[in-house]
Chain A
Amino acid sequence: EDKVVQSPLSLVVHEGDTVTLNCSYEVTNFRSLLWYKQEKKAPTFLFMLTSSGIEKKSGRLSSILDKKELFSILNITATQTGDSAVYLCAVYDNYGQNFVFGPGTRLSVLP
C-alpha cells in the first residue's frame, strides 16, 4: 500500500530559525513528489521534484529529493511568522495513477 510519512508532525520555532521538514514515501512506481503550503485555505503549490539530487529553490525555501533513499526535505531559512502553516508532501504513483498525501507538518513560527 502506498504510504507517505512526514516528520515532525508539529514544530514550533522562533523567527530567524532554520527548519527542515522531512517526507519519506513508499509507492509502487514513483513519478513525482510535490510540496504544498496550506494556511487557512486551500493548499498552494511550492515545488515539484522528479529527479534526485537537484535542488529546487524559491526565496528562503528549498527542497531536494533522494529517490534512492525515498525521501525529500523542505528547508526554510530565516523563518518568518508568515511561514506558519501546514506543509504537505504528496507523491504521485504512476502505477495507481494516484496522488498520496502525507499527514502534513504543522509549523508555527513565533515572533
Chain B
Amino acid sequence: DAGVIQSPRHEVTEMGQEVTLRCKPISGHDYLFWYRQTMMRGLELLIYFNNNVPIDDSGMPEDRFSAKMPNASFSTLKIQPSEPRDSAVYFCASSFVGGGGEQYFGPGTRLTVT
C-alpha cells in the first residue's frame, strides 16, 4: 500500500483565495483525521470521519474551514477565504479498528498564505 496520500505537498496562495487540500487514506481504514500543525500551537485535530461521516468537527477553527469525505477513498479540506494565519502544515491520517489505534500520517501539505 502506498500509505496515506496528500496533495498538493506545497501550496502558496494569496489571502482571500480558496484552498483545497486532498487526502487519500489507506485502503480499508475506516477513520480519517485532519490535523494542522504550527510552531505556536503544535498538532491540532481539526475534524475526523468514521465511515465517511464527520464525527467531531469541534477543532475546525471557524466557518471558513470545511471538510468532506464523499467516499471511503477521498477527503478534502477546504479553506475559503484563506488568511495568512492559516499558514501551517496540514496532515491527514487514517486508522483502522476505530479510535485508539495507530494512526498513519500522510506527508502533509505545507500551506503558505501571503
CB of A27, distance to nearest CB on chain B (Å): 11
Which residues of the partner chain B approach A100 to less than 8 Å between Cβ atoms? 45
Which residues of the partner chain A approach B103 to less than 8 Å between Cβ atoms? 34, 45, 99
Q: Verify if B43 is at the interface (C-beta below 8 Å from A).
A: yes
**Are A48 and B102 neighbours in the complex by a CB distance under 8 Å?**
yes
Q: How many A residues touch the partner, as a band?
A: 20 to 34
Q: Which of A16-24, A36-44, A68-76 contacts B (4 or more CB under 8 A)?
A: A36-44
Interface of B is mostly: strand
**Are B43 and A42 neighbours in the complex by a CB distance under 8 Å?**
no
Which residues of the partner chain B approach A45 to less than 8 Å between Cβ atoms? 102-104
How far does the alpha carbon of A88 sit from the alpha carbon of B91 in the complex, in Å?
15
How far does the alpha carbon of A46 sit from the alpha carbon of B55 in the complex, in Å?
26
Q: Verify if B25 is at the interface (C-beta below 8 Å from A).
A: no
How far does the alpha carbon of A32 sit from the alpha carbon of B100 in the complex, in Å?
6
CB of A5, distance to nearest CB on chain B (Å): 12
**Are A104 and B105 neighbours in the complex by a CB distance under 8 Å?**
no
Q: Verify if B14 is at the interface (C-beta below 8 Å from A).
A: no
Q: Verify if A87 is at the interface (C-beta below 8 Å from B).
A: no
Smallest Cβ-Cβ distance to A92: which chain B residue = B100
How far does the alpha carbon of A98 sit from the alpha carbon of B101 in the complex, in Å?
11
**Are B102 and A101 neighbours in the complex by a CB distance under 8 Å?**
no
**Are A97 and B105 neighbours in the complex by a CB distance under 8 Å?**
no
The interface bits of chain B over 53-79 (1 if a CB of A lies within 8 angstroms of the residue's CB, else 0) are 001100000000000000000000000
**Are A99 and B108 neighbours in the complex by a CB distance under 8 Å?**
no
CB of B103, distance to nearest CB on chain A (Å): 7
**Are B106 and A34 neighbours in the complex by a CB distance under 8 Å?**
no
CB of A88, distance to nearest CB on chain B (Å): 7
The interface bits of chain A over 68-111 (1 if a CB of B lies within 8 angstroms of the residue's CB, else 0) are 00000000000000000000100010101111111110000000
The 6 closest A-B pairs by CB, nearest first: A42-B105, A92-B100, A31-B100, A32-B100, A101-B43, A103-B42
5 contacts between A and B (CB under 8 A): A32-B100, A32-B101, A97-B55, A100-B45, A101-B43
